[in-house]
Amino acid sequence: MSKGRILVVEDDFDISNLLRIYFDSQGYEVSVAPKGKDALEMCRRSLPNVIVLDIQLPDIDGYQVCRQLRGNLRTSHIPILFLTQRDERSDKIAGLQLGADDYITKPFDIEELKLRIQNAISRAQWENLTSPTTGLPSGKLIEEQLRLLMRRKAWVVLYIGINHINGFNEAYGFVAGDDVFRFATMVLTDGVDEHGTNSDFVGHVGGADFIVISDQEHAGAIEEYITKRFKNEVGTFYSFRDRERGYILLDNRAGGQRQVPLMSLAIGVVNAKTAHFADIREITEVAAAERRKVIDG
């Protein structure tokens, strides 16, 4: 099992290759972005658990990358470690003021960097800030967004569950199930990127449950996009035979077999006009109830 996903943003090939080889050997999944804009796009496609970010980049500098990541609700929670040749106090303060979590200068001790990365990932997970499987905000970050939500007027919450994931896990295993969770994460974030705004929020409640917070202007298009895309692409996780017949066969206790449909999304929708909510628990309870109404078996 991977210890976490690291995004290295570094234009020096020797350094980035060293970090990739070393952290691969330590059990991490490592991606490399040689430019700042590449890093922003890669974060949009797949959330890392931590970012090692150089300041001197060929297009936009690391400060701008950090500023954009912190300014977007979907990436604002990712731990960022600045890695740079600059060691001036003013440079460190500038990075920390932008929201960086740590700062290490070149030349660096790779063992020290490993410990700082381990601590950043562990701290985020221990504080219940991110899902270790998807990298999405969870726990406290979702609660925080729901509290902020109650101060807004035209909000919409999409409470999203994956139907028949348990049957899929029984047939294909939990590793394949985690791949489905990461696929769902990509579908949700792409939907918000294409049809929502930077103020929208995507979170992983836990298990097969996700949440999207948007507004009445954009939520309908987001819901339509994620439902259609998930349905069109989820078949790639099944064998050809299961995909063609539209279900999987699982053994039952009576010695026969039962049919389990292919996975789909069940989405409960709650908005500011649905009812008056006294606290965030009421929002999630109503949203979960609405989702259960559309579960197809």
Q: Mark the ranges of the chain whose per-residue pLDDT is less than 50.
A: 296-297
Q: Looking at 70, 95, 126, which one is the last position of a domain?
A: 126
What confidence score (pLDDT) does residue 85 get?
76
- Distance, CA of 281 to CA of 283 (rounded, Å): 5
What confidence score (pLDDT) does residue 295 get?
59
Domain tally for the chain? 2
- Looking at the fold, whether 186 and 278 belong to one and the same domain comes out as yes
What confidence score (pLDDT) does residue 275 get?
66
pTM: 0.70
* 132 within domain boundaries: no
Domain extent, residue 270, equals 139-293
What confidence score (pLDDT) does residue 296 get?
46
Q: Looking at 97, 126, 155, which one is the last position of a domain?
A: 126
Burial (0-12, 13-18, 19+ Cβ within 10 Å), 271: middle
- Looking at the fold, whether 27 and 150 belong to one and the same domain comes out as no
What confidence score (pLDDT) does residue 76 get?
82
DSSP state of 252: -
- Looking at the fold, whether 155 and 278 belong to one and the same domain comes out as yes
Other Cβ atoms within 10 Å of 157 Cβ, number: 25
Cβ proximity of 30 and 72 under 8 Å? no
- Looking at the fold, whether 117 and 155 belong to one and the same domain comes out as no
- Looking at the fold, whether 91 and 144 belong to one and the same domain comes out as no
What confidence score (pLDDT) does residue 252 get?
79
- Looking at the fold, whether 144 and 100 belong to one and the same domain comes out as no
- Distance, CA of 118 to CA of 3 (rounded, Å): 9
- Looking at the fold, whether 162 and 267 belong to one and the same domain comes out as yes
What confidence score (pLDDT) does residue 183 get?
95
- Looking at the fold, whether 153 and 202 belong to one and the same domain comes out as yes
* 238 within domain boundaries: yes
